[in-house]
Amino acid sequence: DADVTQTPRNRITKTGKRIMLECSQTKGHDRMYWYRQDPGLGLRLIYYSFDVKDINKGEISDGYSVSRQAQAKFSLSLESAIPNQTALYFCATSDQGDTGELFFGEGSRLTVL
Amino acid sequence: GDSVTQMEGPVTLSEEAFLTINCTYTATGYPSLFWYVQYPGEGLQLLLKATKADDKGSNKGFEATYRKETTSFHLEKGSVQVSDSAVYFCALNTQAGGTSYGKLTFGQGTILTVHP
């Protein structure tokens, strides 16, 4: 089983719908992240959490919210999806050390019609 | 703010050709530098890293040297294989005052396709 698991892997929805992407990890890491990947733009940070009580906005948080339900779970919500939120979303984790290495899930492809 | 710029892609090579993917950065503080690779249908995984100037990261035949004077971290491989076809991302992690914030800034990615 993957260390970082994302569900769903693929989702097609309509404009205005609420969507939740879930992430769970078995690595025991405190730090979790949500990134968005768009062609030609690389990965951009949406939200990050350094522990259960710590939630921080990234560079593109507008239109998104997150919940850190437990050390191992970090979910991303789109309250009212719009077409320009169509993208590939990645959850990632890291430990507290200074290695800077992120461990990624396999991604959730979201299409908003 | 911090930024990473990679060479434009896509890059198409024949098997056993030499590979270079350029990466330059701007950052405050003393960044650590990374190359991540994304194989088709998968998440990103760390390929190699360097944490201070003149360090060389290496893995799977790939190498990159942290050049502070030119703010660069170019990825090289002497002989590519079909299995190296993937998207490659350069990234940095700025540390300030000795503390890692754990947030990476990524370049836009370079698609590499290797033909037999």
Q: Residues A86-99: pLDDT tens digits?
A: 999 999 999 876 66
Task: Name which of A60-69, A90-99, B28-37, B102-111 the model is least confident about.
Answer: A90-99
Give the Cα separation of A35 and B25 in Å (integer).
Answer: 20
pLDDT value for A17: 97
Give the Cα separation of B105 and A100 in Å (integer).
Answer: 11
User: Smallest Cβ distance to A106: which of B42, B46, B109?
Assistant: B42
> Reduced to 3 states, what is the DSSP secondary structure of residue A19?
strand
B108 vs A102: CB contact, 8 Å cut-off? no
Burial A5-24 (b: 16+ CB within 10 A, else e): bbeeeebebeeeeebebbbb
Helices (H), chain B: none
Q: Which residues have a Cβ under 8 Å from the Cβ of A62 and sit 6 or more positions away?
A: none
From first CA to last CA, the distance across chain B in angstroms is 41
In the structure encoding, which two tokens stand for residue B97, read together? 């005052």
> Mean pLDDT over residues A10-38, rounded?
95
pLDDT value for B93: 86
pLDDT value for A105: 95
Q: Is the pLDDT of residue A52 over 80?
A: yes
pLDDT value for A6: 97
> Mean pLDDT over residues B50-56, rounded?
92
Q: Show which residues on chain A lie within 8 Å of chain B, measured between beta carbons.
A: 4, 31, 33, 35, 40-45, 48, 50, 58, 90, 92, 94, 96-102, 104-107
pLDDT value for B96: 52
User: Smallest Cβ distance to B100: which of A42, A43, A100?
Assistant: A100
- Residues 89 through 108 of chain B touching chain A, CB cutoff 8 Å: 89, 93, 95, 98-100, 102-104, 106-108
Query: B52-60 — which CB contacts under 8 Å span 24+ positions?
Result: B57/B33
Cis peptide before B10 (omega within 30 of 0): yes
> Mean pLDDT over residues A36-46, rounded?
89
pLDDT value for A97: 67
pLDDT value for B102: 63
Average pLDDT, chain B: 90
Q: Does B7 touch chain A (CB under 8 A)?
A: no
